Amino acid sequence: MALNAPLLRAKGADDLVVFDGVQKSYDGHTLVVRDLNLAVKRGEFLTLLGPSGSGKTTTLMMLGGFERPTAGHILLDGKPVEALPPEKRDIGFVFQNYALFPHMSVAENVAFPLRYRGVRGAEARQRVAKALDMVRLGGFGGRRPTQLSGGQQQRVALARALVFQPKLVLMDEPLGALDKQLRERMQIEIKHLQQTLGITIVFVTHDQSEALTMSDRVAVFHDGILQQLASPRELYDEPANAFVAGFVGENNFVPCTAMRIGPHAHALLESGLSLVGTMPVALPNAAQAMLAIRPERIGLVASGAEGAVACNIAEAFFLGDHTRVDATVPAFGGMNVTIKLPPSTPVPPPGASAGLVLPEQHCRIIAP
Amino acid sequence: MLWLPSYATGPERLGRLAVLVFVALVLIFLIAPFFVVVPLSVSKEAFFTLPVKEYSWRWYQDFFGNERWIASVINSVIAAVATTILATMLGTAAALGLARPEFPYRRAVMSLMLSPMIVPIVIVAVGSYLFFGGLGLINTRPGLVLSHTALALPFVVVTVAATLSTYDTNLTRAGLSLGAPPVAVFFRVTLPAIAPGVISGAIFAFAVSFDEVVVALFLTSAERRTLPVQMFSGIRDQINPTIMAAATILLGLSIVLFIVATWLGRRGQKA
Amino acid sequence: MSAALAGRDLARAVRRSARPAQRVAFLLGLPALLFLFVAFVAPLGALLSAAVENPEVRQVLPQTAAALAQWDGASTPDEPVFAALAADLKRANEDKTAALAGKRLNYEMPGMRSKMLSAARMAGGASAGPFREMFIAKDPAWGALETWQVIARTAKPYTLYYLLTALDLQQAPDGSISRVDAENAIFLSLLARTLWIAAMVTIGTVVLGFPCAYIITITPPAVGRIMLLLVLLPLWTSLLVRTTAWVVLLQTDGVINDILLWTGLTAHRLQLIFSRFGTVTAMVHIQLPFTILPIYSVMRGISPSQIRAARSLGAPALSAFWRVYAPQTLPGVVAGGLITFILSLGYYITPALVGGPADQMISNFISTYINRDLNWGLASALGVVLLAVTLAIYGAFLRIAGPDRMRFG
Ligand SMILES: Nc1ncnc2c1ncn2[C@@H]1O[C@H](COP(=O)(O)OP(=O)(O)OP(=O)(O)O)[C@@H](O)[C@H]1O
Ligand SMILES: [Mg+2]
């Protein structure tokens, strides 16, 4: 396809990175990334979220210059980067295994990028010290990477990727090797650094809570296809399709047919039941669709209550901060529905009949 | 003690004992020659009888006092050092290329690179004699070094490739992403990381050249004789204890090279 | 937006985008490849061409060769060919090169050397023809069709003579190919002997090496490491040093005979050196590490729970070992055995120093034909046969084990 650079530049002057129709295949048979169109805004924290093998690392590698797109273009600052080798791209990279140089001290690792930017001597030392202070590792400069804990190594990698003030920093599951507590602390630290330094970060993870915590926007990948690009809240509340709805947070899915009748969107179920809901992305009439309702949005009332859908309680588990109830719903073709209730709510015993309240604004009718 | 599981039965124990005795004998067989060469080199007698009755350094004095032996050592060292440098540079670069999965016809090229290890040495010697003769390289150092380098190359390629298989490519990527040009990344990041493998390969190359007899026999005349050639003609004509002194010196060198290579291998695994 | 690539287009696009990376990888390997072509492949090519080159007769008898190019080969040539031969021989007589061509002709037709020499002397004194009668009067053989058929054949730039000889075949003057007589057939039995010695060495190393590799795998790491060192150390030791040691050990008044006498196993000293037994023993010693290491590396990858599982399923110890463990070690045994077999085929030093006349292998014959007979053609042809056998087995090795199985240490 012909590159229409002026058009693209006009489209977003504050776009730092633009993926334009990018495709990637390693073997010539299967596309690992297919037709990716994505713009990264200056100063934003963008996360690529997706299950294993969905093409996140590949996307990052193409942006970093370590893999070539099979088709399409990547623009950095409005200019195509095909001809730009990785060392000329001025992009910081934090690897999952940190990739610290084992034969250099921490300070030498951090000073490495400065050397190739003509920064030497006292100024280099000063900037290294500042970068290490920034990640709270002042005084560790003389150590070897192997003499540091995982979290400390992670922070050295961070300092090394930030010390030369790149316009963009890429991070490939940088917290994957850390335990849960350290992970959560580092999430906040990285987010904090990004905001104070005003840098742009493209972050890869397959942990949805990490993505929701840190990002300005999240790009959800599945099978090499960008499923949705949105803010965390939008992603949660208005998933574009069933994959996103299921991958980000928990959801109950009921197959249905989408119908727009007047101002209202309806989900027609197999059983003949029709539920009113919302449609984040407009679907054609009579399209195959999914009705998605989050467990914490479902209310449980006495059997036979007005507007409630009849169900039978199957099981209930007390989980500390909430109670989880599984109920069989005849109107959903006998499917099980999961409900999260506040811990104090009384729960009927297994086998009892009850009613489900499905609020209209939380019933999402989305593409399957 | 028999390294058998605790549930082993009586006959099993007996069988294991027999196997252990057998293996011990094989190991003795493996190292037996060393217990011949070293003592005989310090025996005073001119005949090869063991055990040694009287010790003396006379054969070493013979060795170091003989111009021919010394000249052959010098010739060998020069050829081996040149071979080491050439083979290490060429082999390391080749291993770096072959370590990349995108290398075109990788399997075929690898098979070709390794073939000097398996082609009978006499064939290499005769072919080299015929081919180098036309180029005026017979009886010259460059001719011998050319041939020895070809023979040593596979050892460097295999050793460096083995080290590279444990090398983390992300280190190279990190170096590039930090702004270092590819050549700088090689010398400052990759080479230090694979240094143990490269040095092991270099030691192999040195040993190959220093031990090689047949090609040297064909390609060198009397004044360029290497140590192994000198020894070979000695054994052929009239075997005398000076050869045992030479063999012991070669043996000592092998052991030193072996220890260094083993130590490096251990270090390479840790890094 | 562009449509997703598929099928042929996708494959082509992937190939195109992979090209720069391929180029870089290839450029890294290129110096070594070029070097190998000059220092290794070209010499092998020189050997191949030396096995079919045929320069002697053309050099000494250039005019005869040219005149014979038009000869129909059906009957003894006419006067012009004899005149050319006379002119060539006159020059050869002055340059003293007649013996060179004579030696070459003698390979294919015994007696030709002396006929050439006396004809050259005669041509040196003769000034005018007719030469045909002169030659035939000197020796009726010059009138025989067969003589001329052989001269015509040896005057061609290339010959199959050496390769045929190396396979115990001969070409009659009329061009037909047949086996040589039994008493002259030495090369196929030489090849068989070489293969046989290599096979014995291979079997020897597997029999000695397999238990070693097994014990190294199951001993505690500290002991295993020492045993492994004992295996590796000989690998590093100069082949010549080890062969020297065997020369001493195997001598009639050497250590092994001493021990045999002392233990009373024999009543008198045995001929161990310059024997098949000595050769194979020394070769087994030298090859043992090459066989042990691949077996060991395969055994190390077999989980000990395999045998435990077999025992728990009711197999007795020996049968658990042979039916469950041993088959899994086969790749290592095959790789180690093939390496040793390949390397054994090319042995030269050890048979030369430890073997007797009946234990010399192809490599030794090659060396002898060069050093004693200066017969480069036959030496090269034997080299080609040896190379072909070696490469065929190397090919099998690559098929079965792959080039990445070649490791040491
Ligand atoms: N160098 C390569 N050669 C061939 N195929 C590859 C290569 N790298 C990745 N792939 C394939 O491409 C697909 C996408 O891989 P990628 O590493 O981009 O996924 P990911 O989203 O980063 O997954 P993960 O969360 O597991 O890291 C996978 O099917 C993988 O097998
Ligand atoms: Mg990944």
C22 vs B128: CB contact, 8 Å cut-off? no
In-domain check, residue C168 = no
- Among C50, C73, C88, where does a domain finish? C50
* CATH at C237: 1.10.3720.10
Mutate to test the interface with A, among C1, C12, C17 (most CBs of A within 10 A): C17
Q: What type of residue sits at position A143?
A: R
Shortest CA distance to B200 belongs to which of B132, B121, B138, B260?
B260
B170 touches A: beta carbon within 8 Å:
yes
Chain A interface includes B180 (CB < 8 A): yes
CA dist B41 and B231 (Å) reads: 14
Note whether C17 and C44 are same-domain residues: yes
Query: Looking at per-residue confidence, does B127 or A249 come out higher?
Result: B127
Q: What is the CATH number of the domain that holds A20?
A: 3.40.50.300
Residue nearest to atom 13 of ligand 1 (CA): A53
Contact C240 B262 (CB under 8 A): no
Residue B6 pLDDT more than 70?
A: no
Q: Is residue A67 part of a domain?
A: yes
For residue C390, being part of any structural domain is answered with: yes
pLDDT given at position A9: 44
Q: CATH number of the domain at B116, please.
A: 1.10.3720.10
Range of the domain at B101: 66-238
Q: Assess contact for A170 and A93: CB atoms under 8 A.
A: yes
What pLDDT does B56 receive? Answer: 82
Please give the share of chain B, as a percent, with pLDDT higher than 90: 42
Tell me: pLDDT of B45 over 80.
no
| pLDDT value at residue C288 | 94
The count of domains in chain C is: 3
Nearest residue (by CA) to ligand 1, atom 16, is: A55
Q: Is C248 on the interface with A (CB under 8 A)?
A: no
Nearest residue in A to B102, CA atom: A26
Contact C255 B154 (CB under 8 A): no
Residues A60, A192: one domain?
yes
Give contacts of B179 with chain A, Cβ < 8 Å: 87-88, 90, 113, 116-117, 164
Q: Find the CATH number of the domain harbouring A305.
A: 2.40.50.140
What's the domain count of chain A? 2
B218 domain residue, yes or no: yes
Residues C278 and C319 in one domain: yes
Q: Give the integer Cα–Cα distance in Å for C100 and C59.
A: 9
Closest chain C C-alpha to B177 CA, distance in angstroms = 17
Taking CA atoms only, the protein residue closest to ligand 1 atom 19 is A53
**pLDDT band at residue A335 under the 50/70/90 scheme:** confident
Does the CA dihedral A110-A116-A118-A120 come out positive or negative? Answer: positive
Q: Same structural domain for residues C274 and C147? A: no
Tell me, yes or no, whether C10 and C135 share the same domain.
no
Question: How many A from CA of A172 to the centre of ligand 2?
Answer: 7
Residue A269: CB partners within 8 Å, gap ≥ 6?
A: A254, A255, A256, A275, A291, A331, A332, A333
For residue A242, being part of any structural domain is answered with no
Whether B54 maps to a domain, the answer reads no
Could you tell me the residue range of the domain that residue A273 belongs to?
250-366
Which of C118, C141, C159 is the last residue before a domain boundary?
C159
Residue B196 lies in a domain: yes
Q: Which of C159, C175, C206 is at the close of a domain?
A: C159
* Interchain proximity A93–B271, CB inside 8 Å: no
Rounded-to-integer distance, Cα A226 and Cα A46, Å: 13
C24 inside 8 A of chain A by CB? no
Query: How far off is chain C from A174, nearest CA to CA, in Å?
Result: 27
| Chosen from B1, B3, B13, B30 to mutate, greatest number of chain C CBs within 10 A | B30
Q: Are residues A31 and A178 in the same domain?
A: yes
A38-57 burial: b if 16+ Cβ within 10 Å, else e: bbbebebbbbbbbeeebbbb
Q: What is the pLDDT of residue A94?
A: 92
CA distance C124 to chain B (A): 33
Q: Cβ(A54) to ligand 1 under 6 A? A: yes
Contact A102 B271 (CB under 8 A): yes
Domain annotation covers residue C120: yes
Q: Do the domain assignments include residue C86?
A: yes
State the pLDDT at residue C407.
56
Alpha helices of A248-297 — where are they, by DSSP H?
none
Residues A292 and A320 grouped into a single domain? yes
Nearest chain B residue to C19 by CA distance is: B102
Q: Is A57 in the pocket of ligand 1 (CB under 6 A)?
A: yes
Q: Is the residue at B107 inside a domain? A: yes
Cross-chain residue pair A23–C4, CB shorter than 8 Å: yes
pLDDT tens, per residue, chain C with 409 residues: 456 777 788 888 888 888 888 899 999 999 999 999 999 999 999 999 999 998 989 999 999 998 888 888 888 888 888 989 998 998 988 888 888 899 999 988 888 899 888 888 888 887 777 888 888 888 888 888 888 999 999 988 999 999 999 999 988 888 888 898 888 888 999 999 999 999 999 999 999 999 999 999 988 888 888 898 888 888 888 888 888 889 888 888 888 888 888 888 888 888 888 999 999 999 999 999 999 988 998 898 888 777 777 777 777 777 878 888 888 888 889 988 998 999 999 999 999 999 999 999 999 999 999 988 889 999 999 999 999 999 999 888 888 877 666 655 4
The answer to the question of residue A6 being in a domain is no
Looking at beta carbons, which residues of chain B come within 8 Å of A113? 178-180
Q: Give the distance (Å) from ligand 2 centre to CA of residue B206.
A: 43
Is residue A93 within 8 angstroms of chain B, CB to CB?
A: yes
Q: Based on the domain organization, do A286 and A190 belong to the same domain?
A: no
A35 contacts in chain C (CB < 8 Å): 1-4
CA–CA dist B69, B78 (Å, integer): 14
Ligand 1: residue whose CA is nearest its atom 10 = A26
Mutate to test the pocket of ligand 1, among A23, A25, A27, A56 (most ligand atoms within 8 A of CB): A56
Task: Mark yes or no for CB contact C308/B5 under 8 Å.
Answer: yes
**Quick one: which atom of ligand 1 is closest to the CA of A27?**
4
Q: Is the CB of A245 under 6 A from ligand 1?
A: no
Residue C21, Cβ density class (10 Å: 0-12 exposed, 13-18 middle, ≥19 buried):
middle
φ, ψ at A261 (rounded to 5°): -120, 110
Q: How many domains does chain B have?
A: 1
CB A167 within 8 A of CB A91: yes
Q: Are C333 and C360 in the same domain?
A: yes
Examine the domain organization and report whether A24 and A169 are in the same domain: yes
Q: How far is B191 from chain A (nearest CA, A)?
A: 10
Residues 184-243 of A with CB under 8 A from B: none
> Do A155 and A222 share a domain, yes or no?
yes
| B263 located within any domain | no
For residue A13, what pLDDT band results from cuts at 50, 70 and 90?
Answer: low
B48 contacts C409? CB cut-off 8 A: no
Nearest alpha-carbon partner for A171 in A89, A20, A63, A76: A63
A224 in contact with chain C, both atoms CB, cutoff 8 A:
no
Q: Output the CA A221–ligand 2 centroid distance in Å.
A: 12
* Ligand (nearest to CA of A222): 1
Q: Residue B48 falls within a domain, yes or no?
A: no
Q: Tell me if B76 is assigned to some domain.
A: yes
Are B179 and A161 an interchain contact pair (Cβ–Cβ within 8 Å)?
no
**Which of C1, C9, C10 to mutate: most A Cβ within 10 Å?**
C10
> Do A348 and A225 share a structural domain?
no
**Could you give the ipTM of this predicted complex?**
0.89
pLDDT at position A11 is 52
Residue of B nearest to A165 (CA): B178
Q: How many CB pairs under 8 A join A and B?
A: 71
Ligand 2 centroid, distance to A210 Cα (angstroms) = 15
Enumerate the residues of chain C whose CB falls inside 8 A of the CB of residue A65.
none
Neighbour count for residue C302 (Cβ, 10 Å): 15
Interface chains of chain B (3 or more CB pairs under 8 Å): A, C
- In this structure, the answer to whether residues A260 and A210 fall within a common structural domain is no
* Interface residue B30 vs chain A (CB under 8 A): no
The answer to whether position B269 is within a domain reads no
Is there an atom of ligand 1 within 6 Å of A56 CB? Answer: yes
A19 shares its domain with A145: yes
Q: pTM of this prediction? A: 0.84
Query: Same domain, yes or no, for A318 and A348?
Result: yes
- Chain A, nearest residue to C11 by Cα: A28
* Inside any domain, residue A277: yes
Distance CA C154, CA A209 (A): 87
Name the band, by pLDDT with cuts 50, 70 and 90, for residue B95. very high
Its domain, for residue C105, covers: 56-159
Measured in angstroms, how far is the CA atom of residue B169 from the centroid of ligand 1?
Answer: 15
Residue A8 banded pLDDT, cuts 50, 70, 90 = very low
Q: Is the dihedral of CA C69, C75, C77, C78 positive or negative?
A: negative
Look at residue A6 in the predicted model and tell me its pLDDT. 45
Ligand 1 site, residue A66, Cβ cutoff 6 A: no
Ligand 1 and A53: CB distance under 6 A: yes
What is residue C405's predicted lDDT score, i.e. its pLDDT? 63
The three-state DSSP-derived secondary structure of chain B is CCCCCCCCCHHHHHHHHHHHHHHHHHHHHHHCCHHHHHHHHCECCCCCCCCCCCECCHHHHHHHHCHHHHHHHHHHHHHHHHHHHHHHHHHHHHHHHHCCCCCCCHHHHHHHHHHHHCCCHHHHHHHHHHHHHHHCCCCCHHHHHHHHHHHHHHHHHHHHHHHHCCCCHHHHHHHHHCCCCHHHHHHHHHHHHHHHHHHHHHHHHHHHHHHCCHHHHHHCCHHHCCHHHHHHHHHHHCCCHHHHHHHHHHHHHHHHHHHHHHHHHHHHHHC
Q: By the CB < 8 Å criterion, does A154 face chain B?
A: no
Report the range of poorest mean pLDDT among A43-57, B89-103, C168-182.
C168-182
Mean pLDDT of A336-351: 86
Residue nearest to atom 3 of ligand 1 (CA): A26
**pLDDT at res. A177:** 81
Residue B129 neighbours by CB under 8 Å, 6+ apart: B138, B218, B219
Centre of ligand 1 to C-alpha A53, Å, is 5
Whether residue A258 is predicted with pLDDT greater than 70 in this model: the reply is: yes
CA angle A237, A240, A244 (to 5 degrees): 80
Which pLDDT does position A3 carry in this prediction?
A: 42
pLDDT, tens digit, 9 for 90 and up, residues B52-78: 777 888 888 888 888 888 988 999 999
- Are both A100 and A220 inside the same structural domain? yes
Q: Which residue of A has its CA nearest to C15?
A: A28
